[in-house]
Amino acid sequence: MSLLEVERINAFYGDSHILFDVSLEVGENEVVALLGRNGAGKTTTLRTIMGVLAPKSGTIRLGGKEIGGRPPYEIARLGMQLVPEERAIFGQLTVEENLKLAALTAEKPWALERVYEFFPRLKERRRSGGRQLSGGEQQMLAIARALIRDARVILLDEPFEGLAPLIVRDLVRVSRELAAQGRTIVLVEQNVVAALSFADRVYVLNNGHVVWQGTPAGLEADPAMMKTHLGV
């Protein structure tokens, strides 16, 4: 049994049908990338899994438990965390205050020093306000908030967007370390090269449909798929 199972979910924004019978599986300790052009339904898939958007039909299971339609706070308690594209850090709070706030409701929160081992830059900036951080530092903090809650599954929505190549390299390294230490990651990303560099498996979405699934090597061996649906 996979750790995360999504079966034929359909999701709507108002009257607009966005996801059409989307199914995917994510094994424990696996890194799965959801790829596709803008508007393909990738972010909606993550939001539906996390309970931000309730599916109209279909099932979502985490560790065998049905979570489809549950509120996000309940899903978070079961060990899943969404790191949204907009990062949503508290700009008026310091780095350390953001982390301590995230830890308050965690069952087994990490020690701050354990988080700082992944992100030494955040330790250096721990007394800086959220608004004072660079884009890369804000992304580090957004991921760190998920880590301090001891997330079993981390949903990353466009973590590399707008960041300098050196910052992307550091975040890819951290993502690899997390996977090696037993974290499960579902990644939505426009930077195809970065995503394929550490994903175990890939799903390609187009207009709310899964149109391809397989390994990074299999996708790279299909130039027509890469060009048509990823623009690469």
For residue 1, pLDDT over 80 is answered with no
Name 105's Cβ contacts closer than 8 Å, sequence gap at least 6: 77, 149
CA distance 72 to 81: 9
The full set of domain ranges for the chain reads 1-79+153-162+184-232
> pLDDT averaged over the chain?
93
| 27 closest CA partner among 4, 7, 49, 50 | 4
Q: What's the token pair of residue 77? A: 């308690």
Angle between helices 165-180 and 135-148 (to 10 degrees): 10
pTM of the model: 0.93
- The predicted pLDDT at position 175 comes to 86
Please report the sign of the dihedral spanned by the C-alpha atoms of residue 56, residue 41, residue 44, residue 58. Answer: positive
CATH 3.20.20.70 fits 1-79+153-162+184-232, yes or no: no
Question: What's the mean pLDDT in 176-186?
Answer: 89
Share of the chain above pLDDT 90, in %: 78
d(CA 29, CA 185): 8
Question: pLDDT by residue (tens digit) across 142-154?
Answer: 999 999 999 999 9
Q: Which helix (DSSP H) or strand (DSSP E) does residue 136 occupy?
A: helix 135-148
In DSSP notation, 27-73 reads -TT-EEEEE-STTSSHHHHHHHHHTSS--SEEEEEETTEE-TT--HH
Residue that the structure tokens 């978070």 belong to:
76
Q: Which of 5-9, 117-121, 209-213 has the lowest mean pLDDT?
A: 117-121
Q: How confident is the model at residue 213 (pLDDT cuts 50, 70, 90)?
A: very high
- pLDDT over 70 at 232, yes or no: no
Instruction: List pLDDT tens digits, range 74-92.
Output: 999 999 999 988 888 888 8
Contact 151, 118 (CB under 8 A): no
Residue 132 has pLDDT above 90, yes or no: yes
Provide the phi-psi class of 79: left if phi over 0, else alpha when psi is between -120 and 50, else beta.
left
Half-sphere exposure for 175 (CA within 13 Å, toward CB): 27
pLDDT grade for 182, boundaries at 50, 70 and 90: confident
